[in-house]
Structures are given as structure tokens and as C-alpha cells.
Amino acid sequence: MTDAMEIPATCPVAPRGWPNPLLAEYDQVPAGRPLTQVTMPSGSKAWLVSQHDHIQRLLADDRFSVEPHPTFPIRFPAPQELLDMIARDSKNLLVTMDPPRHTRVRQMALPDFTIKAAEKLRPRVQELIDGYLDRMEAAGGPLDLVQALALPLPAQVICEMAGIPEAERDVFTRNAAIMVGTRHSYTMDEKMAANNELMEYFATLVTEKQKNPTDDMLGNFITRAGRTDEFDHHGLTLMTKMLLLAGYEFIVNRIALGTQTLLDHPDQLKALQADPAGLMPKTVNEVLRHFSIVDEIIARVALADVEIDGVTIKEGEGILVLKGLGDRDPAKYTDPDAFDIHRDSRDHLAFGYGVHQCLGQHVARLMMELCFTSLFTRFPGLHVVESDEPIELVDGLPPVHKLVVGW
Amino acid sequence: MSGMRVSVDRDRCIGAGLCVMSAPSVFDQEDDTGLVVLLDDRPAGVDSEHARKIAEHICPSKAIRITGG
Ligand code: HEM
Ligand code: SF4
């Protein structure tokens, strides 16, 4: 049986119901739809993968590649110059490497991203959160939780992991905020300037750590990489950028969206507060599942013909993985659009699947857990003041939205 | 059910640690490498159910194999 269908759609970039002018076609890909082939604005064709089971099977399949390829699915028409630059840079980025190189490089970073490594950060992350909440209390509400906590906290945690001295953190936080901000707040030129300033800073950081090795996540990575000829200096600078910025916007969004959603479900919040040990891990997973839809979609290209449920994805054809729809697949989760901290969402796709599954996930979980616990303990009367602010998705970029709260 | 055997393939493991989160008495993550270590190759009771779910749906790199049971 062949379920495949061809629709003349341009590529969807975000899910149904979300206010984005580019999104009309997403409605044509309801959750649970079979593989669908689309033509993208760039002219290349790709298969949309939206079922949970298909996503897991294809992302765990070694016959798909993330490396540059003439028919790699590119969603927007881009000038050749930009494509060349991306192809060049991608050779130095973990997220665009295939095994066996991916395996070697991931293992250079892995020891500092284990569950135990993340647990070691717990007291310090708590201390940082307490500091932000002290400042909130002193300033008095209502205020924007994104600016007060969700945006600065991950920046500080990442700086600590990278051993960036306090005096130099401003370069990171200022520019990182611009890079994850929506186009409403910053122009493309401002983003480019922020990127350049960050790259310059990371280059000096790499040099410094090569000269004086440090025992932190970034220092250890640079030391391990230095024992191989895997990267030159520029390569290390690009990897540094990826290790420090890969998940920044994602975690900012999750802290804000998770807080808002828990406030929108007072019964569940009450249950969580009554049994934090039992329900917090589930809550974190459910926030991740429920908001899987806000991220970039994942792309791969087939290196061989791959047969799945009667459909053949031919060698050279791309796939676009709509993990947000996979995480709302009714065949996988009952009443998938409902937020429910009691369900088992451990197998959500928010962190991806397959060998590239998020390296920073335990640090991300830790930040989410401690933010939720601390906020609701410290401010039992926490409530949303401005809730009509729509969650923005600009050109498919994830939202860093405003969340004004009082307490 | 008592015949269930668990094995791990460290060449496939990417150290996501999800097995450890779901069944800490069956799996651990090695400190210096971050890769999976099998603590119990014959889990029983609820651990065996977790192990099965982890192998089938949670481990992102298909590094865990279940035989028997
Ligand atoms: C809730 C927050 C986060 C979400 C939802 C998230 C999501 C993801 C996803 C979906 C991927 C896979 C991309 C692909 O397969 O193409 C990924 C990879 C990655 N993430 Fe995260 N991430 C988060 C937080 C973080 C943090 C805090 C860090 C670093 C401190 C981080 C570092 C990375 C790295 C380095 C990779 C590449 C791994 C590889 O290619 O092997 N992430 N993330
Ligand atoms: S879940 Fe799989 S990939 Fe992750 S640590 Fe366990 S065996 Fe390795």
C-alpha cells in the first residue's frame, strides 16, 4: 500500500494554529498523516515526516545523512555564497557531522554532559536562580519573566560551563540575546554584528584555553580535541559557538512557556506542588513534548533507497522531520493537544532522536526543573498579568515571548 | 518473563543517558566516557518493563537489545 501523496505545498515551518504568515500549508499536514512529498520554495523536494513512529525509525536509520549534499533539503532559496559558507562551516559542527566522525567528536564533549555532570551543576544553578528571584522580589511586580529569569539564567549557566570569567560575560549575554531575539526586536544587520562579535570573542577564548587548559566543559573539550587533528583553530571556534549556543533559544522558550502553561492549569500545578519528587520529571517531559512544535524542523538526506510503510524514499531525497507533529500524534498520545503532566511522555521528540539527540538535555532539564520549583515555591501567588500576548513565530524562528507576571 | 536478557552496544551508544533516567538500577553512565554501563542484565518486575520500553522507544541510538522473556 502506498500512502504517499504529493502536494504542491511550499514548506511549512511551524504548526497549525500558530500565528505566522508562512504557515498556511501546515494545516494540510495533520498529525498522523502519511509521508508527504513537497516542493520547497528553494525548488528542491522533500518528504514531510510527521508520525511519531516514522520519525523514530527514520532518525535512527544510518542511511540518512546530515552532511552537505547537492540535494539536501533547504527550505528557503538562498544565495550560493551563503550555501557555500554553510557547507564550509558545517564540516566543523557536531550537528552536521555523520558517524564515524560524529561519534569521535561527540565523545570529546560527552563526559561533561552526562546526568552526573549536570547534577554537579545543581547547587550553582539553584544559587543563580535564587539571585534572580531576589532581584524580582526587590523590584516588585508585575514584570517580564523572560527578561528577569528565562533569558539571563541559561546564559549564566552556559558561561559557567564554559568557564567564561565574570568580567567577560557581558559580551556573551548581550550578543546571545540578540541572536535569539525575533526580527521584531533586531534587524538582520544587528544579528550579523552580534554573530561577528561573538565569533571574535570565542576565537580569543579558544586561544586562551589552548594556552592555559581549564577544567570546565569547554576547557575539557578543547583539551581532548587538542590530542587529535580533528579541528584547526577556526574549527574549534565554530564548535565553541555551537556548544554554547545550540540550545540557548530552546531553553529560554521552555522556561517561559512551561511556567505559563502550568499557571494555565492550576489543578495540575497543585498536584505538582503536592508531589514534586513524583511529578517533576514527568512535568518537564510533558512541557518538552507539548512545546516540541516551537523549534526548527530537522532535515536529513537519504544516502540509499529507504523503504518505509510501502513508500520508497529514494537515494538523494530529503526528509523534513516535523517533530512537533510527531509529539502530537494521536496514534502515540491520547488527546495529544492536551497538556497533562500525569502522562508518560518520556519518548517525546523534543530533543530529537538518533545519534544527534540533544547533548545538552540534562542541563536543560535541570534548569527547567529548578526554575519551576523555585518560582512556584517562592511566589505562591504567581499569575500571568499579560496573557493575551500571542506567542510569536517570526519567519519560523522560535519565539522568545514576553511573559508579564505578578505575585 | 523471567528469561529476559538485556545487552548494550557501546559502539552505538551516544550517551544520551535516557536509559539511566528511566531505570537507574539497570543502567548507568560511565563517568569518563558518558557511555552506557549495564548494571543488571536480567532485570525483573517493573525494571524489566522499563528496560523493554527503553530499548524499543526511548534509547535514541538503538544501543539496547532485549532477548528472551
Ligand atoms: C529545552 C532545551 C533544548 C531543546 C529542546 C534542544 C533540542 C535539540 C535538538 C532537537 C537537537 C537535535 C538536532 C538534530 O537532530 O538535527 C539538539 C542537538 C544539540 N543540542 Fe540541544 N536542545 C536544548 C538545549 C540544549 C542546551 C542547553 C545545550 C548546550 C548547553 C544543547 C546542545 C546541543 C548540542 C551540542 C546538540 C548537537 C548534538 C549532536 O549533533 O550530536 N541543547 N538539541
Ligand atoms: S539511552 Fe541509549 S544512547 Fe542513551 S545512554 Fe542509554 S544506551 Fe546510550
All three cell numbers of A128, joined, read 543563580
Residue A3: what pLDDT? 34
**What's the rounded mean pLDDT across residues A271-300?**
90
Residue A32: what pLDDT? 52
CA distance A263 to A382: 8
* A357/B contact by beta carbon, under 8 A: yes
Do residues A283 and A262 touch, judged by C-beta distance below 8 A? yes
Taking the CA of residue A367 as reference, the ligand 1 atom at the shortest distance is: 27
Confidence of residue A405 (pLDDT cuts 50, 70, 90): very high
Q: N- to C-terminal Cα distance for chain B?
A: 4
Do residues A284 and A368 touch, judged by C-beta distance below 8 A? yes
Ligand 2: distance of its center to the CA of A209 in Å?
A: 30
pLDDT tens-digit readout, A206-245:
999 999 999 999 999 999 999 999 999 999 999 999 999 9
Distance from CA of B15 to the nearest CA of A (A): 7
Residue A19, pLDDT > 50, answer no
Residue A11: what pLDDT? 34
Specify the fold of B5-67.
Alpha-Beta Plaits (3.30.70)
Give the ligand with the smallest distance to the CA of A367: 1
Q: Which residues of B touch A (CB under 8 A)?
A: 14-18, 20-22, 29, 31-35, 53, 57-58, 60-62
Confidence of residue A40 (pLDDT cuts 50, 70, 90): low
Per-chain mean pLDDT for chain A: 86
Q: Name the helix (H) or strand (E) containing B5.
A: strand B5-8
CB-based contact B15 A59, cutoff 8 Å? no
Do residues A323 and A58 touch, judged by C-beta distance below 8 A? no
Domains along the sequence of chain A with CATH: 24-406 (1.10.630.10)
Query: How does DSSP assign A9-51, residue by residue?
Result: PPPP-S-TTS--GGGGGGGGS-TTPPPEEEE-TTS-EEEEE--
Q: N- to C-terminal Cα distance for chain A?
A: 57
Confidence of residue A182 (pLDDT cuts 50, 70, 90): low
Taking the CA of residue A355 as reference, the ligand 1 atom at the shortest distance is: 41
Distance from CA of A359 to the nearest CA of B (A): 7
Q: Which residues pair with A312 in a beta bridge?
A: A307
Confidence of residue A318 (pLDDT cuts 50, 70, 90): very high
CB-based contact A346 B22, cutoff 8 Å? yes
Only one residue has cell 518486575, namely B45
CA distance B4 to B54: 14
Residue A13, pLDDT > 70, answer no
All three cell numbers of B69, joined, read 522473556
Residue A391, pLDDT > 70, answer no
**What percent of chain A shows pLDDT beyond 70?**
84
**What percent of chain A shows pLDDT beyond 90?**
61
**What's the rounded mean pLDDT across residues A4-27?**
38
**What's the rounded mean pLDDT across residues A382-398?**
60
Do residues A271 and A279 touch, judged by C-beta distance below 8 A? yes
Residue A14, pLDDT > 50, answer no
Cα–Cα distances in angstroms (integers) from residue A405 to residues A140, A148, B24, in the given order = 10, 10, 38
Task: Pick the closest to residue A3 from A44, A61, A50 (CA basis).
Answer: A50
Quick count: other Cβ atoms within 10 Å of Cβ A145?
24
Ligand 2: distance of its center to the CA of B17 in Å?
A: 5
Do residues A358 and A292 touch, judged by C-beta distance below 8 A? no
CB-based contact B57 A347, cutoff 8 Å? yes
Cα–Cα distances in angstroms (integers) from residue A66 to residues A34, A93, A299, A314, B17, in the given order = 23, 11, 7, 16, 23
Q: How many CA atoms lie within 13 A of A122 on its CB side?
A: 12
In chain A, residues 337-356 whose CB comes closer than 8 Å to chain B = 346-347, 351-355
Q: Where are the domains of chain B?
A: 5-67
pLDDT tens-digit readout, B16-51:
999 999 999 999 999 999 999 999 999 999 999 999
Residue A76: what pLDDT? 62
* A95/B contact by beta carbon, under 8 A: no
Q: Name the helix (H) or strand (E) containing A147.
A: none
CA distance A181 to A310: 42
pLDDT tens-digit readout, A118-163:
999 999 999 999 999 999 999 998 999 988 999 899 999 999 999 9
